Amino acid sequence: DAKTTQPNSMESNEEEPVHLPCNHSTISGTDYIHWYRQLPSQGPEYVIHGLTSNVNNRMASLAIAEDRKSSTLILHRATLRDAAVYYCILRDVSGGGSNYKLTFGKGTLLTVNP
Amino acid sequence: IAGITQAPTSQILAAGRRMTLRCTQDMRHNAMYWYRQDLGLGLRLIHYSNTAGTTGKGEVPDGYSVSRANTDDFPLTLASAVPSQTSVYFCASSPLPRGQASTEAFFGQGTRLTVV
């Protein structure tokens, strides 16, 4: 499975933008970039995913480098509720999903200061 | 919509006992997964299933078994529990890729298991 590298922790202030980086230098052409987050004492929840183009949804934006070897999750205005561990994961869609696992790394612990 | 339901929410189990953690989804997703989460080790995949009738081993399958008799249910069984299986267990489901388009996964709220 292709691996991702994220900083262990990051800190932000409330109502400021947050840019969470992820490196995935061995990404393959059929790997989608997924982001999940895990709030304290909860199961992980989906945030966003993309392949090549930048993506936006109600929760966040995903900026993908042109060579796809890195990406950045952008929270436009952090709130206290955004404090969580954020995971960057690659999902391989080739073979009809025969290798469609979701392999988690350590993620980035985001602290949001009031 | 219930999504994914895990039961029990928490359990204290004597070592050597057999235990089945239940996971049910109502989204008709083909793929289902079991993870364990331990402090400092993150989420590790135990077993997965891409469709009813098939299962596969993840990163840490030893001591666990699964079955997938139908689309909705994916129980995880500990045949003879040991203290090292004390952990928080998460079940997840996901549609398989739609053509070449990826899909999102949904997670349950977890089962906190303590083996003593």
B12-27 pLDDT per residue, tens: 999 999 999 999 999 9
Residue A1, pLDDT above cutoff 60: no
B54-102 pLDDT per residue, tens: 999 999 999 999 999 999 999 999 999 999 999 999 999 998 887 777 8
How many CB pairs below 8 A link A and B? 63
Q: Does A42 touch chain B (CB under 8 A)?
A: yes
pLDDT at residue B65 in the model? 98
Q: Phi and psi at residue A95, in whole multiples of 5°?
A: 65, 25
What torsion, rounded to 10 degrees, do the Cα atoms B28, B30, A33, A63 define?
Answer: -20
Interface test with B, best of A27, A92, A102 (most B CBs within 10 A): A102
Distance from CA of A63 to the nearest CA of B (A): 17
Helix/strand/coil percentages in chain A, nearest 5: 5, 45, 45
Distance from CA of B15 to the nearest CA of A (A): 25
Read out DSSP for B39-99?
TTTEEEEEEEEEETTEEEE-SS-TTEEE--SSSSB--EEESS--GGG-EEEEEEEEPPPBT
Q: Does A97 touch chain B (CB under 8 A)?
A: yes
The per-residue pLDDT of chain A, averaged, comes to: 92
Q: Does B64 touch chain A (CB under 8 A)?
A: no
Contact flag A46-B45 (C-beta cutoff 8 Å): no
- In the block, tokens 């404090």 appear at A83
Residue A105, pLDDT above cutoff 80: yes
Report chain A residues whose CB lies below 8 A from the CB of B3.
Answer: none
Q: Which helix (H) or strand (E) holds B19?
A: strand B19-25
Question: Can you tell me the distance from the alpha carbon of A12 to that of A109, in angstroms, rounded to the nearest whole number?
Answer: 11
The per-residue pLDDT of chain B, averaged, comes to: 94
Nearest-5° Cα angle at A37, B113 to B114 = 5
What torsion, rounded to 10 degrees, do the Cα atoms B108, B54, B94, A10 define?
Answer: 70
pLDDT at residue B97 in the model? 80
A54-99 pLDDT per residue, tens: 999 999 999 999 999 999 999 999 999 999 999 999 988 887 777 7
Among the listed residues A54, A44, A58, A52, the one whose alpha carbon sits nearest the alpha carbon of residue A87: A44
